[in-house]
Amino acid sequence: MTKVCEFEIHYTRFLDSEGHIASPLPLFADDSNALKALYRWMVLTRSFDARAVALQRTGRLGTFASSLGQEAVSVGAAAAMNDDDVLVPSFREQGALIVRGVPYKQQFLYWGGDERGSVYENNCQDFPNSIPVGSHAPHAAGAAMAMKLRGEKRAVLCLFGDGATSKGDVYEAMNIAGIWKLPVVFVINNNQWAISISRDKQTAAETLAQKAIAVGIGGEQVDGNDVIAVRHVVGKALERARSGKGPHLVEALTYRLTDHTTADDASRYRDENTVAAHWKEDPVARLRTYLNENAGWGKNDEEHLLETAAAEIEEAAQAYLNEPPQPPQSMFDFLFATVPPELSRQRDEVIRRVAEGGDNG
């Protein structure tokens, strides 16, 4: 027998779990303002999540998927994008949306079931959250195909979970991206759980990054709780994609520190001691320690940030709560540019029934 191929999967981390330097930092980390911006976005994401959960618990928001513990993946990956790149996110990437400038109020609207929350005010070409697991990966490949056909120096960033990598549509998207050398970077936000199914029960593959090998594209792992590493690894992959060198897969290793969504109770299927151990990897505390020790980040900076973050989120929450709801027929208004005749008929019927004083008939 002869060996035909051999592969390796590499792992990158710059900060250890205590926030100390584990290997020489990439160039962009010389700019302490860039690191403070990453830290601020992570803190804002955490504040947003906490407020959203509180709104849901008091009956003022729909089911919500918190990203507690995973902020460095969303924030680090989106921070590596150029403005004219395109984000194709799954439903747990509020950190990425915050980095991209999607107003908090719009994010609250979205989770409150109001489709205006997906029509981004800043008019960028980013896609709305994908609630179906993995079905947005082929869309990401399609958007990348459009960029390639137009000869644009742009790239697509597509984020999905570990569970999504067991789905056919994700594999198909990576496969076509490999064949056509599309400018797309797939990032797996590996939080170790697909609702109650732990990573080891999802696939026998040793790493998720190695799924890239089967489709002939590059794949690697990164410490998903080290925002510097995520920003660096995804940044390099996006640069390669923009310059015509094709797609890449990044597996970011992190941990979901809370329930799957507000409709879940994780204590029914996982051990609290394990969760507590993962708090020692907290991405926010890790960068804070680094900033304390290397960038003059002090108690006053921290207090000021926490106060302003809470105030910004609160203002948006109040604006969301004060927004008059959409009329029932709005359910037809956000799917098609022109509503097809059959749906148009149904839309008219909804308007008529509401005008008649009820919609139960």
Ligand X SMILES: Cc1ncc(C[n+]2csc(CCOP(=O)(O)OP(=O)(O)O)c2C)c(N)n1
Q: Which of 69, 161, 178, 235 binds ligand X (CB under 6 A)?
A: 161
Near ligand X in 205-264, by CB under 6 A: 260
Q: x-or-dash pattern for Mg ion, window 177-206, by CB under 5 A?
A: --------------x-xx------------
H helices of the chain, in order, are 32-57, 71-79, 94-99, 104-111, 137-149, 168-179, 199-202, 211-214, 227-242, 272-278, 283-294, 299-322, 341-355
User: Does residue 51 carry a catalytic annotation?
Assistant: no
The token duo for 156 is 């697509």
For residue 291, the Cα-to-chain-centroid distance in whole angstroms is 24
Task: Provide the minimum distance between the beta carbon of 175 and Mg ion in the complex, in angstroms, as a whole number.
Answer: 22
User: Does residue 269 carry a catalytic annotation?
Assistant: yes
Per DSSP, 157 falls in state E
Q: x-or-dash pattern for Mg ion, window 138-167, by CB under 5 A?
A: -----------------------xxx----
Task: Provide the minimum distance between the beta carbon of 25 and ligand X in the complex, in angstroms, as a whole number.
Answer: 28
Our CB check for ligand X shows the closer of 122 and 198 to be 198
d(CA 326, CA 42) in angstroms, rounded, equals 31
Task: Provide the minimum distance between the beta carbon of 221 and Mg ion in the complex, in angstroms, as a whole number.
Answer: 15
Our CB check for Mg ion shows the closer of 195 and 331 to be 195
Instruction: Judge contact between 71 and 45, C-beta under 8 A.
Output: yes
Q: Which of 12, 66, 129, 191 binds ligand X (CB under 6 A)?
A: 191
Near ligand X in 125-154, by CB under 6 A: 131-133
Residues forming beta bridges with residue 130, ordered by sequence position: 90
For residue 278, the SS3 value is helix
d(CA 105, CA 4) in angstroms, rounded, equals 54
Task: Provide the minimum distance between the beta carbon of 191 and Mg ion in the complex, in angstroms, as a whole number.
Answer: 4
d(CA 16, CA 22) in angstroms, rounded, equals 6
93 near Mg ion (CB under 5 A): no
User: Does residue 39 carry a catalytic annotation?
Assistant: no
Q: Which of 195, 205, 213, 350 binds ligand X (CB under 6 A)?
A: 195
Q: Are strands 156-161 and 86-88 parallel, antiparallel or unpaired?
A: parallel
Q: What φ, ψ does residue 253 adopt, rounded to 5°?
A: -90, 115
- Which positions touch Mg ion (CB under 5 A)? 161-163, 191, 193-194
- Which positions touch ligand X (CB under 6 A)? 92, 131-133, 160-164, 191, 193-195, 260
Point out the residues that are catalytic. Answer: 256, 260, 269
